[in-house]
Structures are given as C-alpha cells and as structure tokens.
Structure 1
Amino acid sequence: MQNLHLIPAERHDNPTTSCRFFLFPFSHQHYETTYQPKILFLSYTKLSLSPCENHFSACPFSSILSYHTFLPTDAAMSEIPRVYFHSPKNSAYEFEITSLQELFTKQKRLLFPLEQPHRVHFYHLLIITKGSGQHHIDFTSYNVQEGDVLLIAPNQIHAFEITDHVEGIILLFTESFILKNINQTQFAAVNALFNYHTSSPLLQQAYTADIRNDIEALQTECRHPQNAISEEILRLQLNLLLLKLARKKYIVMQPIEHTEWKDTFAEFRKSLERGYTTTRNAADFAEQIGVSYKHLNAICKAIVGSTAKEFIDAYVVLEIKRHIAVHSPTTKELAIQTGFDEPTNLVKFFKRHTGQTPRMFMTKLKQQTL
C-alpha cells in the first residue's frame, strides 16, 4: 500500500450546538468552493476528501450539496466514494431541503460526477415534482416521474441521472437527528419505510397535497431563528411526514410490546454488520444479543416487517453486490470476502435470491457503466 499524506482541513461547523438535523434546498453557499481537493481522512482503505475552501469541512459528510468524497488514488481508484453529512456554515441542524436543479447547476464544483455511484451515510427523500427520468440505487435503475418519491437510507449506494427534463426536491437528514426523542411507533415506521433490504425504495405517486403541505411547513419552520424549540418542531414535522409516507407505503405496523425492542433491533443490526461473514444463521445472532430466535423474529416483524432470516439474507445479497461493484473479484475471492466456505455455495445462495449468478451480475453491471 502506498504512503498516504493527510492534509489537515479547516472546520466550518458550529461546535457550540448539538443539533443534528438539516433541511436544505440546494442553496448556492454549499457549492461556492474552488475545485481543490484535499485528503481529509483515511477510512479503512478509502480516502475521504473535500475541497475545504469555503463551505466544506473535515467533518464526515455533508449534504448532497456539500458532498465530502474520497479521492481514490492508484489502487484505491475503484473504490466507491463515501459521502457524509455536515451542516452548512449557517445552519445548526442536520437537516436540509434543496432542489435538484440547484444541485445540478453546481455539478462542476463537486469532486466527483453525481452520475457516479457513491455511498451515502445519511437519509435522502427525493421527490420528483416535474418530468421523468431514472435514479440508480444499489445497482438497480428506477424509472421515476412527477409525483414519485425515492427513499435512500444510510449506507446505500446511489447515482443521479443529470437531465434538464426532471425537477425535484431533496430532504437530507441524519440518523442522529431523526432518532432523537423518537417513540417506538415512530422508530418502527422509519425502519420499515427505509428498509431497503426487503422493500422497494420507490413510492409511486406519493407526492400528494398533504405531503406537499408538510414539506412547505418544514421550509417555513427552517426560516425561524434556530434554537432547541425550533429544532424539536422540525423533528416532529419530519416524523409526521415519514409516518404519512409509511402509511402510503401500506406499512401495517404490529404493536411494539416493549420499549426495549428498539434497542434490541439496533443491537441485532450492528451484530449483523460485524458478523455476516461468520454466520448467516438468525439463531446465532439472537444468541449474540441475548434473546431467543422466536423473540428476535417478533422484533424484526414489528419493526421492519420481515423475519430475521429474510433481513439477514437481503443484507448479505446486497453486500455481495457491493463487493462485486467495488472490487470485481473472482468467485473464489468473493466467497472469501463474504464468508462462504465454498464458491459454489455462494453462487447457489446469490442465484436463489437474485435469479442470476455473481458473474452474470458483474457482466450486467459493467455493461451499464460503459
């Protein structure tokens, strides 16, 4: 591995506040920066970089407007850029609302093409208000048109289609913002709504009059002086919007019987992220977090609407796709990377869940990027 020289970056966040929510229309200030990349930090084998001139910072990601990315060099050139959220210079909240048009006009000031797949570490709500086009999420292309809503969760990989024929609004916010002071029903709704492992991120014709009114209310509240009361109002308004979208997605929430279920599910998800290459057995994960398999299933059904095993398998399939997209490994290498004892077992597992072999998926992916 080559030596990496890290250049310290100037911070532009507000250290005096603990607020974590952004509402941003793609405002000009996010893109007013010169195109001079600086390497900020090393994350595993990936470099995060940002042009830290005016409104970028060394803080993990900012919004789609102030995208911090990794500057892949040499061997790291094939890595997918990571994008982290960081509040704009004049905002104390980890939430923003912006327009697609404003983002696209600032395309040349970004460090990588928006059409390039990039991994985000915060939530997106993308609303199409005019025209039609495509958006790419985790290697699937979705046809979108006026009135559609796309849900993008942290850790997903997506790419824009730059076109003058589509207009839209994006709401960006962090997990820490939305989960603060959240109740059990709200937590379950957020997880089920953004459960990309077992459901589609596309809500067709969900941008109805009531949703439009809720977004306008958020925009109005963002113009108020920033303080703890305004932050909580924004969070409540956002939660209301997400609950309405969950209802439009026909999510039927099972009663959450115990307040600790939220924490148990969070433990399960973290355990899965750490240990999916070691086991794909739901009972093993249940044992790791100190609950029964039956109890873990009940929690998963209540919070994300799927069994624990369905959630695990969907997670593993997506990780396999991500390994293929980033590294283009051989089947043997892929099996080692994702915890399969034999390449044939990997192929069978992947084909059973996707209808294609890993090599077929790799070939199709390469054809899409030509």
Structure 2
Amino acid sequence: MPVRVRRVAPVALVAAALTATALSAPAASAADLARPGGDRHHQRTQRAVDAVVAAGAPGMLVQVRDRHGVWNGSAGVADRTTGRERLPQDRFRAGSITKTFVAAVVLQLEAEGKLDLDDTVERRLPGVVRGNGHDGRKITLRQLLNHTSGVYGYTEDPDFQRKVFGPDFLRHRYDTHTPRQLVSIAMGHAPAFAPGTSWAYSNTNYILLGMVVEKTTGRPYAQEIERRILKPLKLRATTFPGTAAALPRPSGRAYSMITGDGTVHDVTELNPSIAGAAGEVVTNTSDLQHFLRTLLRGGLLPRAQMKELTTTVPMTGAPEGYRYGLGVVSQKLSCGKEVWGHSGGIHGSSSDMVATRDGRHSLTYNVNGDFTDAQPVVEAEFCG
C-alpha cells in the first residue's frame, strides 16, 4: 500500500484496550520462528519473496497467519557485510504503520468521551494550525485521520527534502525535529485544498494527532500507545524510540540509494523524530500480526468506533481499489479480494501489514531496502 512516510524517490520515509486473548492470532512456536520458508501452502508467496530480492532488495522477511497456522518466509540478507540471514524475530522501522496505532488511540479517546472526531483542530490545539491559508477552525480530527484536511505535508517541503531525503541526510541523520517544528514547516505553505473537498496523504496530519493525544491525556502519544495497546497485547518487540537512533536487537541493517547516484548506503541509524507520530514505530512481523488481527476483530475498539475506523474515502492518485479509512487502508486486489491494513516506509525500510476484514488471514512483511516493490508478495499470498 503506497501510503507511507516517504518521498517518491529516491528513498521511502514516509480502555478501553482489551487484552483480547480469545481474539489473538495463533502463537508462533519456537520451531516456526527458527525455520522460515519451506511451507507447501505458501510456495507461491515464497517465490514472490525470492523475486523481490532477485530484483535488488538486500533482504525480505514475511509472516503469514491463516488456517494453516503461522508461516515465516525470508530471502536475502539482514546484513550485507556479514551475510547474516534475516530472522523472524528481527526488528525494523515500520514507518507509516505508526498511523494505525495513533488512530486506534484517538478512537479509544472518542469512545471514552474525551474528544469527538468532529472537534476542530483549533479546539484541541489552539493557534497551532494557522498561516498561509491554513485554518484549524475549519479542520476536524476526522479529516486529519482520513487525510481530507488539506493540510500541507511537511515532508514535501523542498528544504526538508534536501536535508532529509537527499545527500544531506548523511550529515543530518542525527538531527532532532520537534512536532511543533514539523508543523511550522507545513504552515509555511498553502494548503493542498479546502478541508473536506479532496484527499491527499499528509504526514503533518498525524504529527498533529500525536499532539492532540498529548494535549488530551497529558501524556506523550507514545506513552498512550504503550499503555493502551502495547502492554495489553504484550507487543514486546514494538517501541516508539523518540530520538534514539539505533535499532534494538535483534535487527539487521537498512539500506538506501539516498544520494541518487546508485550507491547503496547503510542508513540504519537515524533520529526518528523526522517522522514522529507519522512514522517512528519499530516492531517485528509477529507484533504487527497480533496488532492488526486484534484491531480488525474488534479487540481494541467498541462497535461504534470500528464503524468509524472502517468508513473509507477515495484516495486521489492511488491505484484503483484503494480507499482510506481512519488510519487504515482498504485495498481490492487483482483477484477481487479485499484486504485491510497499512504500509510504511522510512529510510532503508519498507513494510506492510494486511489482513482480510475478519482478521483470519493476514500477512506482514519488511524489506530492508527502499528501492524495490514488494506488492507482488501480497498478491501472491491472497490471490495465488
């Protein structure tokens, strides 16, 4: 799903929480985690994974959960220097998949009566969204969640792109960016359109939502996600690192052609505040499975909020069959099947999590490079 913290080229940037024990995905056994690949039910998917690596990706990791149980597939390497293979336990940056976690918390807050999706941004963040035609009095939280706000995306700013997505990244990779600074960049530009009149993916929307969560609860959005989602679901491999540049172990390396000259650079270490609530999450395939399946089965949200979550709008400029809900994407595959989830990209890392609406058949993956297309793997698994 091409909705992630990213520039088009050359790099992808991009309770009431229930424990839901009865709704959780089947647990992966030690044998499952130790032996990726080789399952006869997923041979077509493994071939698609092999093809992604053959096309140039350093390595790919995929996990599927369905009626056959848990299957882990992989190809390529986690580290081009040592040749170490990718492991199912490997953690990685998952970029805009962060948005689904943020949306779930906002919807929980609505269920608790602490905010309303039709609240204006001005009510929740007075004076923050102003300038060059932006007016927070005319934008709702719902429009931030589904990208119909028209708020300019800070990642589209030319100066930001040069510093973060071009050769200058190698000098600025450890710089810290505060949410207010990122919003200020966006406010320096005109809106993309009047609120509610069109659709455009904007990472600024979710930076603002992270600020709303903090203003509403008195705690940073990452702490709320930990309290409401990570701890109840025991997602121990998932973290929101803030400004910490290194990946927790086990993890491989992340690779990018960020300089634009065809050279592959190791971009594993970076300050994730460039993405914040729009894309800083670090996780693994198993945690993403548990989170998405629990979410889609109603284990995190009451029925009314599930209806809000899955009410979609057309995605202008996206491939046919894509629609955006509140932090989730509905996608019609070539065979007519519908899957739900979200993709995510950030320097040197491309990820996706998708599942059928009932959560019974799901796939999560990560590619430790940002210069190959892995969508065929989703098609192979669900349409094979």
TM (normalized to structure 1)? Answer: 0.26
* Greater radius of gyration (CA): 1
More helix by share: 1
* Structure with bigger RCO (C-alpha 8 Å, 6+ apart): 2
